[in-house]
Amino acid sequence: MLKEKRNLMLYKQDFEKFFRLLSETFTIFGPSKTDGSRSFTKIDASDEIAFDYENTKMSLKEFFFPQTETLFFFDTEKNEVKQTDVETNKHDKQNILFGVRPCDAMSISFLDKVFNANNPQDLYYTRRRKSTRIVSFACTNPASTCFCTSVGCGPDSETGADIIFFELNGRYFIKTVTPEGEKTIKSAEKLLNPATKNDIEEKVHLMKTANSNLKKIFDSGNLQKKLDNFNAPYWGKLHRKCLGCGICTYLCPTCHCFDITDEVIKSNGRRIRTWDSCMFSLFTLHASGHNPRPTQKERMRQRIMHKFNYAPKYYGKTFCVGCGRCVIYCPVNMDIRDVMKEIMEER
């Protein structure tokens, strides 16, 4: 059993071999060049992997918590549940998610608190999670929209990952984070060498540079306290340019709200869960017509509060990893960093 995390080295020229060895036991997913790093797709050859991407457009969450998931099928004529998706989608082969950015890896550790915790456990998520190893890639060149260090994450964060790669000059610095991570590289052990002091120094230096490129914009701890003021005046203004679309929540790696609906064609039906968004006006609309969050003001507040105030209280974590997707893709440039700044500056 693993006593401590190991630091190992892999020469870039051996990566192809490394990839092949791993793919004998695992199905490998990663950001691929072919779809412009839109999402994590199946990778068949090592050269399909896009190493230099900033972040995938779709976050990692859809791998474990797909946008549409069948909970079970049923027959309305016979009035019976036929089978559940958990039973049909057997994940026999183990998966590797390769090249995950540390922020996305961390986001999975948050989702684990929601779905994987035994309160009760969400079998659909758990099943996928159990069969999947996360191999993350430290960010040596973070984007201008990244703000991970403001929310307790960082370019070399290990949380959520089983293994983390650092790209050094001509070689990869590989750190095993979990026992699963150890097991994952077992088959490729012969390609790996223990890291030397030099290697470690180079890695530390590299990450120092990366870290220095990331400005810490706010302190999430203070923010949480600030947000305890539920009726703060800024809520009356912040939302005004918000269009109420679902881009920020759908692209967010930690947003996990979903809807459950039934779909029926003839007598064949399925109960599905689909992503939902607190930004949508119908999200909390009661059958009676009452809506506790009737305007974009309340909905915007809910989104911010859920991430930065409620989640810390409930799960002990700020549900934001600073990936910057909401910043990049918001059609009205509603920059969450700006919002945070505004909140922090209030009084």
Chain positions 51 to 110 lying near another protein, rule: CB under 8 A, are 52, 54, 57-58, 67-68, 71-72, 74-76, 79-81, 84, 86
- The residues in 177-236 that bind another protein, with binding defined as CB under 8 A, are 230
- Window 1 to 30, contacts with another protein (CB under 8 A): none
Choose the stretch contacting another protein; rule: CB under 8 A; options: 9-17, 50-58, 92-100, 164-172.
50-58
- Interface with another protein (CB under 8 A), residue total 87
Residue 84: CB minimum distance to another protein, A: 6
Please list every residue from 155 through 184 that binds another protein, using CB under 8 A. none
Smallest distance, another protein to C-beta of residue 42, A: 17
Report 263-302 residues binding another protein (CB under 8 A). 263-264, 269, 271-274, 276-278, 280, 282-289, 292-293, 296, 298, 302
The total number of residues written for the chain in this structure: 347
Provide the minimum distance between the beta carbon of 331 and another protein in the complex, in angstroms, as a whole number.
Answer: 4
163 and 135 Cβ atoms separated by less than 8 Å? yes
Residue 194: cis peptide before it, omega within 30 degrees of 0? no
By the 8 A CB rule, do 111 and 288 touch? no
What lies within 8 Å, CB to CB, of 194 at 6+ separation is 6, 7, 8, 9
Taking the least distance from each CB to another protein, the nearer of 146 and 161 is 146
| CA-based nearest residue to 108, from 329, 291, 319, 325 | 319
Taking the complex as a whole, the smallest distance from the CB of residue 315 to another protein amounts, in Å, to: 9
Cβ neighbour number for residue 135 with a 10 Å cutoff = 25
Q: Which is nearer to another protein, 198 or 288 (CB)?
A: 288
CA gyration radius, the chain = 22
Exactly one of 128, 306, 307, 317 binds another protein (CB under 8 A); that residue is 306
Residue in 126, 189, 144 with CA at minimum distance from that of residue 163: 189
Q: Spell out the residues 6+ positions from residue 79 whose beta carbon is closer than 8 angstroms to its own.
A: none
Amino acid at 47: D
Provide, rounded to whole angstroms, the least separation between the CB of residue 165 and another protein.
19
